[in-house]
Amino acid sequence: MKTIRIGTRKSKLAVWQADYVADLLEADGFTTEKVLIETKGDKIQDVAIAKIGSKGVFTEELEALLKSGEVDIAVHSAKDLQSSLPDGFDIIAFSERAFIEDVIVSEKEIDLSSKDLVLGTSSTRRIAALKHFYPHIQTIDMRGNLQTRISKMQSGVCDGLILAHAGVHRMDYDHLVKVKLPIDAFIPPVGQGCIAVEAHRNIDAEKKQHIYQKVNNSGVEKQLLAERAYLKKLEGGCSIPVFAFASLEDDNIRLKGGIFSLDGKDRIIYELLGKDPVNVGTSLANKVLENGGMEILKEIKKHLG
């Protein structure tokens, strides 16, 4: 029997994702073994992600294990992966995708028109979107794993949290969902709702083929290739409020994406239809950049220093 060693972060959600992939892989003579580690993003809880640095916050330590061969694959939330992977690394499978939208979770009813509403989030995209659509809503920076953030909310730090529905669902917190934010306004970040499998080029070829066959969803792969090409062109990371979501229409890919200014006042958004995922993503990014996105991006980078 061949054993596939899976590297993952220690949070309950990360372990759930690793177990999900492991269940798919344990067939046809393959077993799995989990290797749990802490990443920089897990260790630093009192600083906003944007201030830690947006590249490799949740992946660097796992990639070191991949390169050394201590693990065969790393399992991530696709939205946590930087737009450009280090040399020698690839995403070799994209899982099925579900619950892509953002939601507001709370133990009380949420009135988005209330001027006293305080929501917790550490996402620059979510903060900018709130400032754009609901400028009266206050936000408070909220870090930590899902359980930690919910505990902080329950202690009264904020009225509710804006979270990815996928993680909320996987951790059985659907009963706390009070608002599902419409994706035409709150377009999710690249990769939300999908689990990505990362590997180094030194991975055993038989293992790589097995992983692709058992985990990869070809339709989601097209979506993510388009979204990630868009993100790569914009050099987007955790500190940049960019967004993109691809859907499939017959043999075509429809990609809708854009960028917010940090204060939420400016929102540039376009969509394109095409057949080649990477071309669609790159072309949409160029359109956004040529129509005001470049100026917003420069201002954001100047602000971030």
Is 170 among the catalytic positions? no
Of the CA atoms within 13 Å of residue 229, those in its CB half-sphere come to 20
Is 79 among the catalytic positions? yes
Is 238 among the catalytic positions? yes
Query: Cα separation of 246 and 256, whole Å?
Result: 6
Comparing CA positions, the residue from 203, 194, 195 lying closest to residue 5 is 203
Element (H, E) at 36: strand 30-37
Is 201 among the catalytic positions? no
Instruction: Quote the tokens at residue 276.
Output: 């080649």
Query: Cα separation of 172 and 189, whole Å?
Result: 22
Is 275 among the catalytic positions? no
What secondary structure, in 3-state letters, does 148-161 show? HHHHHHHCCCCCEE
Amino acid at position 28, single letter: D
Q: Of 159, 238, 256, 267, which is the active-site residue?
A: 238
Q: Of 143, 232, 233, 256, which is the active-site residue?
A: 143
Q: Of 42, 72, 102, 126, which is the active-site residue?
A: 126
Q: Of 9, 42, 102, 125, which is the active-site residue?
A: 125
- Contacting residues for 246 by C-beta, under 8 A, at least 6 apart: 222, 223, 224, 226, 227, 253, 254, 255, 256, 277, 280, 281
Comparing CA positions, the residue from 92, 93, 112 lying closest to residue 102 is 112
Query: Cα separation of 213 and 92, whole Å?
Result: 10
* Beta bridge partner(s), residue 34: 6
Q: Of 9, 42, 72, 79, which is the active-site residue?
A: 79
Query: Cα separation of 85 and 243, whole Å?
Result: 19
Is 149 among the catalytic positions? yes
Q: Of 9, 97, 131, 149, which is the active-site residue?
A: 149
Is 111 among the catalytic positions? no
Query: Cα separation of 78 and 89, whole Å?
Result: 14
110 phi/psi in degrees, rounded to 5 = -110, 125
Q: Of 80, 158, 208, 222, which is the active-site residue?
A: 80
Catalytic (active-site) positions: 79-80, 125-126, 143, 149, 238
